């Protein structure tokens, strides 16, 4: 989501994991308050980083650099 992917299909293509795994992980991230699911009428829902999720950016960068 840091890279701009917000829909289930976009995330599925980018990550290359199964639908079941992605669905499970999105559910867990939503329950933990890291992301929010936005459903606007009849459109496909979008997933956005919550304020807490955005706060993880510096941690994400540190892990990426350490890798």
* 60: confidence class by pLDDT, cuts 50, 70, 90: confident
pLDDT of residue 42 exceeding 80? no
Residue 49, pLDDT above cutoff 90: yes
CB 5 within 8 A of CB 11: yes
pTM summary value: 0.80
Q: What span, in angstroms and rounded, lies between the C-alpha atoms of 46 and 58?
A: 23
pLDDT tens for 1-38 read: 888 899 999 999 999 999 999 999 999 999 999 999 99
């Amino acid at each position: 989501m840091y890279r701009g992917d917000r829909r289930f299909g976009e995330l599925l293509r980018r990550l290359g994991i199964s639908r079941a795994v992605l669905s499970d992980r999105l559910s867990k991230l939503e329950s933990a308050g890291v992301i929010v699911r936005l459903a606007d009428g009849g459109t496909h829902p979008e997933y956005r980083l919550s304020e807490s999720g955005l706060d993880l950016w510096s941690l994400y960068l540190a892990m990426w650099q350490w890798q």
